[in-house]
Structure 1
């Protein structure tokens, strides 16, 4: 009898219908129930298995849809006539070697050699670079903005990508505080600043195009441009930041962080910015300005954006709220020249680089209500104190080993070794000891020429900074106790 071939588990998470369907399918495909075999009626099989008739009916219907059974009104199910021939024609897949490598793109094959993002950056530990302090963020005000956004959400085709309210609020803020010149429809709202770089790469780069990036510089930029097939060239820095390369070939794109060079913190003066603009021939070379933490300048007023100096539509401006507010707010933005705005917006849709409408509306309220600027002003005071505390602690406890370079702004600083050292092995030792940082040489695009450590100060309170520096001192000095 068929019921003797079926065993149902009453506590199985898969459910009785799924179990019965699976077991009947196996009996047919395995040859136990041959073509033309007439099965019991749903009532009979349900009684024999002590299940509901609906359970059996659903299983029969599923198998009929898959072609295993023929089901007709007021007739018992019959196994499909040609079932054996069908399974005979289905040749088994040849066995594959378990060790065979998957077929990947050339870009994907290179990912294992890229030191970005860092594999150990799973937990937030002092002195991780580039982090804002979420503990100082006005969460209650932000929650009210989110709640108001949730209560008045409206759905139409336009709101699915760029909330006009956020674009207008950003336009006003960037014009007054960063010197950016743009209309609201030139601003694209994206999930992250990295998404903005991906969008730029996808729309401006043809495989083989030359791209200049700072060296050392932000690894995420090189990653985005290489993924698009660009030939990425690292351009060395001098005391003013990115220099002009000594080669005749004009690049398709120049990536730079002029307001606070990543990772050195150097500020590019107006004269150097003008030189870079002169290199970029309108319509043929684009300049991407990443102003990732341009709000945080401590020793003087922030220098206006390079984009504001551009009068010929060559500069694209990238920003993010992850640094200015908290990393949990996954919103970035891209200011594009007028001639690119429509193309970029269509490309954004095609690539699926869509930011939350709910969060966009809340951000518009947060900015227009004055809360964003108030938060920035408060954090400038806090971060400046933490920068000075980290630099002073390094001088007191590790002055013989490391020399801290105090940046005029930003969220991190560089400490260089007084004598030649393998900064990567030292960074690994310090990470193992509990201090999260980065080796300066790991940020080089060409042959590393710098040795040092990149240390974050923004996210960490002064007591946490002191504790981290003591750990560093003990790890680097061996048995010598850290000085108080």
Structure 2
């Protein structure tokens, strides 16, 4: 009978987990499911509700972590609280809190309408895009750097929020590897690349300012600029990435991923980069260059960063360590145009976008001692082979339904559907079968023009990629 008390709306898989968790929590809090009641097994409830078993399992695990259920392997979960234990003893608080509609800000009211942050389940499944292989990271070396940094912390005086040792190491690395021209003082250390976009938007964007982004593109950028009230316009792509539309007045800000366009992986030519710089008015039009995985380039020498070509201080350069190292290291960085360094530093502290100092010091040691470059050299060879293995497998197993766009670098690729537009339905079916991809249409700013799959290859060994391809072939 429990399934009759639950009504799920068919959205993405993450949405089903959140809905089921919330509805079971409410049924317990209001006393509809009493203390000591044994719930159905995850297999039985999944069958009754018509969802995957993982959906029910994740909901049970979350409620057990919150103290609503007692769950152990091989046994049905049991309700552990009386209705009202989470309220005033009668369940009235839980019921009224559920029915009351909180008054949110205009920004918060629109959060559920965006596709950011991206909805994925845990644990990581093949071929989820956007991830490197954390299993290949030199954790023992990193642990030693962290340990030494923590031991030195007691002797360090309270210092700046952006540690100079890391800024100097980064300035040297970016100059030699990416052609970035910046002093150490221009580099801000942040909790993530997304934090850098949030900071830029807070400082530069006023309501109704025009912002251009790539379409399809990185949804986190559109979300950050819309949060500041910008009018975000999606710019079409060609083989060189973002295009300018003739006759359009230059906007306040342009966001682009020129090294490996997200999601297609296309490389913007030097001529196209120069065209954007030439049309940008110094002090009035700013460019944000997101080089999220520029460390990984396979087929030719990487094109230097757009920031290094800019002679008028118009370009922000954004980077992250989560792709090159491991996503657990929540550090990004921002190279700021000289005229805005002081303002951005104040805004960084005002908003609280500050990275832990001991992690900064450990990373400075990791970079300065050569461990970072050694890790990158090894990962480039590994990821290059994995890209080629995925491309060859897609052409062999799925060449009749998918057309592969081979990126010159990066950690993911796009495979377009040759027939039909049901990429979101395909993604749902693949997730149920154990392969996690991203629908290309979901990355469009407006009406989708392309339909296909965004597939990650960096995080997966070749035998894992082969198994995932066999699953995909059977699904299609």
Give your verdict on TM over 0.5: yes
Q: Tell me whether 1:431 sits opposite 2:431 in the alignment.
A: yes
Once the two structures are superposed, residues 294-332 of structure 1 have per-residue CA deviations (whole angstroms, 9 ceiling, x without a partner) of 000001111100000001010000000000111011000
Partner of 2:99: 99
Which deviates the most, 165-174 or 136-145? 136-145
Partner of 1:22: none
Using structure 2 for the length normalisation, give the TM-score.
0.78
Once the two structures are superposed, residues 78-137 of structure 1 have per-residue CA deviations (whole angstroms, 9 ceiling, x without a partner) of xxxxxxxxxxxxxxx9x9785342211222222212222233333201000010101111
Q: Tell me whether 1:132 sits opposite 2:129 in the alignment.
A: no
Partner of 1:331: 331
Partner of 1:170: 170
1:386-425 matches, cutoff 5 A:
386-425=386-425
CA 1:417 to 1:361, structure 2 compared with 1: closer, same or farther past 3 Å?
same
Alpha-carbon distance in 2 for matches of 1:97, 1:432: 34
Which deviates the most, 181-190 or 400-409? 400-409
1:274-293 matches, cutoff 5 A:
274-293=274-293
Alpha-carbon distance in 2 for matches of 1:293, 1:120: 20
Alpha-carbon distance in 2 for matches of 1:246, 1:272: 14
Alpha-carbon distance in 1 for matches of 2:342, 2:274: 27
CA 1:339 to 1:429, structure 2 compared with 1: closer, same or farther past 3 Å?
same
Partner of 2:216: 216
Alpha-carbon distance in 2 for matches of 1:395, 1:425: 21
Partner of 1:15: none
Alpha-carbon distance in 2 for matches of 1:453, 1:256: 21
Partner of 1:17: none
Alpha-carbon distance in 2 for matches of 1:436, 1:116: 17
Alpha-carbon distance in 1 for matches of 2:147, 2:410: 31
**SS where residue 271 of structure 2 aligns?**
helix
Partner of 2:198: 198
Q: Give the deviation of 1:247 after TM superposition.
A: 4.1
Alpha-carbon distance in 2 for matches of 1:358, 1:245: 46
Once the two structures are superposed, residues 356-408 of structure 1 have per-residue CA deviations (whole angstroms, 9 ceiling, x without a partner) of 10110011111111111111111000000000001111111111111111110
Q: Give the deviation of 1:157 after TM superposition.
A: 4.2
Q: Tell me whether 1:251 sits opposite 2:251 in the alignment.
A: yes
| Structure 2: stretches of 5+ with no match in the other structure | 1-92
Alpha-carbon distance in 2 for matches of 1:427, 1:116: 17
Which deviates the most, 194-203 or 413-422? 413-422
Partner of 2:444: 444
Using structure 1 for the length normalisation, give the TM-score.
0.77
| Structure 1: stretches of 5+ with no match in the other structure | 1-92, 477-484
Q: Give the deviation of 1:421 after TM superposition.
A: 2.6
Alpha-carbon distance in 2 for matches of 1:157, 1:285: 37
Partner of 1:144: 144
Structure 1 segments of 4 or more deviating over 4 A?
95-98
Alpha-carbon distance in 1 for matches of 2:425, 2:218: 21
Alpha-carbon distance in 1 for matches of 2:157, 2:352: 17
Alpha-carbon distance in 2 for matches of 1:214, 1:157: 41
Alpha-carbon distance in 1 for matches of 2:121, 2:362: 29
Partner of 1:158: 159
CA 1:245 to 1:121, structure 2 compared with 1: closer, same or farther past 3 Å?
farther
Alpha-carbon distance in 2 for matches of 1:98, 1:175: 54
Partner of 1:377: 377
Alpha-carbon distance in 2 for matches of 1:231, 1:122: 34
Alpha-carbon distance in 2 for matches of 1:146, 1:293: 24
1:8-23 matches, cutoff 5 A:
none
Which deviates the most, 106-115 or 136-145? 106-115
CA 1:98 to 1:133, structure 2 compared with 1: closer, same or farther past 3 Å?
closer
1:48-67 matches, cutoff 5 A:
none
